[in-house]
């Protein structure tokens, strides 16, 4: 597609229920990120995928949160036993990865733009 898409746009659930949030990244983007944005705050990192594997899941708040990306494209964020504090906008972003050589001769990823989806607003009653 033309951009990152996320479904559903809004999700209302009851405390204790299980939810799945879906992200379709831009075609060809190998990197995929999940962020959580609480009301009045900036987005906070949850997890980062490079291909099919979770390269960094240090932002997941607890073991009720889990994410997968089995074929290296679509990703699903799964939240078990939802709590009212999980209410937030969940943002997904994707980017391509290019390497650059720094002035010191080291290789690192470039600041390739992370393209964001419109988010899923999760409300836990």
Question: Across 38-74, where does the E strand assignment appear?
Answer: 44-50, 53-56, 65-68
CB 113 within 8 A of CB 57: no
Residues binding another protein: number (CB under 8 A):
30
Choice between 15 and 100, CB closer to another protein: 100
Residues ≥6 apart with Cβ < 8 Å to 58: 45
Q: Single out the segment in contact with another protein by CB under 8 A; choices: 17-25, 28-36, 61-69, 75-83.
A: 28-36
Among 11, 22, 30, 45, binds another protein (CB under 8 A): 45
Q: Which stretch binds another protein (CB under 8 A): 15-23, 30-38, 65-73, 78-86?
A: 30-38
Q: Tell me which residue of 66, 70, 26, 27 sits closest to 51, measured CA to CA.
A: 70
CB 21 within 8 A of CB 32: no
Q: 91 in helix, strand or coil?
A: strand
* Candidates 17-25, 32-40, 62-70, 75-83; binding stretch for another protein (CB under 8 A): 32-40
Pick 19 or 60: Cβ nearer another protein: 60
d(CA 97, CA 113): 9
Point out which residues bind another protein (CB under 8 A).
Answer: 31, 33, 35, 40-45, 48, 55-56, 59, 89, 91, 93, 102-104, 106, 108-109, 111, 113-114, 116-119, 121
């Amino acid at each position: 597609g033309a951009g990152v898409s996320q479904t559903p746009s809004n999700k209302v659930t009851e405390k204790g229920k299980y939810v799945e949030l879906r992200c379709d990244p831009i075609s060809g983007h190998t990197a995929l990120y999940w962020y959580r944005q609480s009301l009045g705050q900036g987005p906070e990192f949850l997890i980062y995928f490079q291909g099919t594997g979770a390269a960094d899941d240090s932002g997941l708040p607890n073991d009720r949160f889990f994410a997968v990306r089995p074929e290296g494209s679509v990703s699903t964020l799964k939240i078990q036993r939802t709590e009212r504090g999980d209410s937030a906008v969940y943002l997904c972003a994707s980017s391509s990865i290019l390497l650059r050589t720094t002035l010191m001769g080291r290789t690192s990823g470039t600041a390739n733009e992370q393209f964001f989806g419109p988010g899923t607003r999760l409300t836990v009653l």
